[in-house]
Structure 1
Amino acid sequence: MSSKANGWTLLFDLDGTLVESAPDLVGTLNAVLGTDDLPPLPLERGRHLIGHGARALLRRGYEAAGAPLAAEALDARFALFLDLYVGRIADLTRPYPGCVAALTALKDEGFTLAVATNKRTDLSVALLDALEMTGLFACVLGPDRVSARKPDAAHLIEALAACGGDRGHALMVGDSSLDAGAARAAGLPFVAVGFGYADVAIPAMAPWAVLDHYDGFPALVRRCANETEQGLALAGSPG
């Protein structure tokens, strides 16, 4: 384990950050819309509805189709969505290019990796299992495993606690304002990916850095560790 990696935790969002899951999520949404004789949403329109969890995806999908759902109707469609999604969870979903190699290199170097997602934990683990990625992560925490979901800081703070990390040696990687807001509230550097399902323009998230391809991620992480160590050294220096 390198000295820079020692004690460092890297937190990741899942959909739109680690994996391109829109084809399966939007495909499942469209299957549910079809049961109500509603037209499917184009993939490019539906992908920007992702990021707030499956129930929110359904609600927003029906609103986009011009047929908002009452709460009791949403519950029934949500159950159907889950049944359909589990059966196709990784039909078309794939890790982003370079993701697995970059994360494997960082884990081998001694960094702790964890997932903090608004996707339910069982679905998150099922997806990571199907993609043979689960072993990369010390813990996976969906909204059902924390006291408050992103953008609340509690999601990230509790994820760090679950895998033995601390806020002074951690960063958050994500694609949405929810990820940015949680990182800001928790006092963590935020890395915005440029290829996800951003719900606002990336500059509006005020990221510490923007990641356009995972090939550059290990160098970016080491830079963050270096800058943090220098800051701690300056803070602790005499005079």
Structure 2
Amino acid sequence: MTVRDLDGWTIAFDLDGTLVDSAPDLIGTLNHLLNAHGHPPVPLSAARHLVGHGARALLRHGFAEAGAVWDEVADPGLFDRFIAHYLGRIADDSRPFEGVVETLDALAGRGAVLCVATNKRSDLAEALIEALDLGRHFAAVAGADRVSARKPAAAHVVEAVRMAGGDPARAVMVGDASTDTGSARAAGVPCVVCGFGYNDLPLHQLGGDVVIDSFLDLIAAVERLSARTLLREPAI
């Protein structure tokens, strides 16, 4: 019998680079548009500093990396073309990281409520999650358009947890980049850093509480952080 020792806890997950290795389709779409404009492609490794801030930032910085400039005022349709192309291939090559499904099932079995807090637009996040058959795991998906302020603001993780019916005082954030650790730190929520993700800073500079090298290590990390939080709570 599984012990429901995580009842009352909410785990908030970043999406790109945390739950899903989505760089092939994101960078593939960026390179499709760069090619259409006569610019060289960016390497897949660019996901580490291009992915995680939303589609507009991906376009701006991606074009800059290719030695070009995207003037959103002069070419507002580029964003729409990006979204249309990306939606058409959203899960062609994107896959959950190893151990994701088993770990989500295990956390839910122990009573945790799960949600997503991503700077991706909510409709894109939900399309990716559903295409990969992950939707059943999450009580809420909070894209940047569903919160009052996006990561690294505290509001993103706080509002995502509350959307899932949880209490931010008993929550853990799981992410891979400075936007995730920044949001968690501002909200006073402990953060697990996925060292295998799209880390935009060296791991020791991200400011997470625990770094994991495999998603299969997440449960032990959540156990440590939840126990530490309970020790800090005043006795009744």
2:212 equivalent to 1:195: no
Give the match's secondary structure for 2:41.
coil
Mapped to 1, the partners of 2:198 and 2:47 lie a distance apart of 10
- Are 1:11 and 2:16 counterparts? no
Q: Which residue in the other structure is 2:170 paired with?
A: 169
Amino acid of the structure 1 residue aligned with 2:235: G
Match in the other structure for 2:226:
225
Superposed, 1:58-137 pairs within 5 Å as 58-73=59-74, 75-137=76-138
Q: Percent identity?
A: 50
1:46/1:217 Cα in 2 relative to 1: closer, same or farther (>3 Å)?
Answer: closer
The code of the aligned residue for 2:221 comes to: L
Gaps of 5+ in 2: none
Separation in 1 of the partners of 2:231 and 2:181? 24
Name the counterpart of 2:55.
54
**One-letter amino acid matched to 1:98:** G
| Aligned equivalents of 2:43, 2:206: Cα separation in 1 | 26
1:75: Cα distance to partner?
2.4
Q: Output the CA distance in 2 between the equivalents of 1:226 and 1:135.
A: 27
- Once the two structures are overlaid, the 10-residue window that deviates more, 9-18 or 212-221, is 212-221
2:159 is aligned with 1:158: yes
* Deviation of the 1:4 alpha carbon: 2.8
Paired residues, number: 235
Q: Give the TM-score taking structure 1 as reference length.
A: 0.94
Moved over 6 A (4+): none
TM superposition shift of 1:221: 1.2
Structure 2: how far apart are the matches of 1:12 and 1:67? 33
CA distance in 2, matches of 1:102, 1:90: 21
Counterpart of 1:55, as a letter, is R
Query: 1:45 is matched with which residue?
Result: 46
TM-score (norm 2): 0.96
Q: Within 1, Cα distance between the matches of 2:74 and 2:15?
A: 27
Partner in structure 1 of residue 210 of structure 2:
209
The answer to which of 162-171 and 137-146 deviates more is 162-171
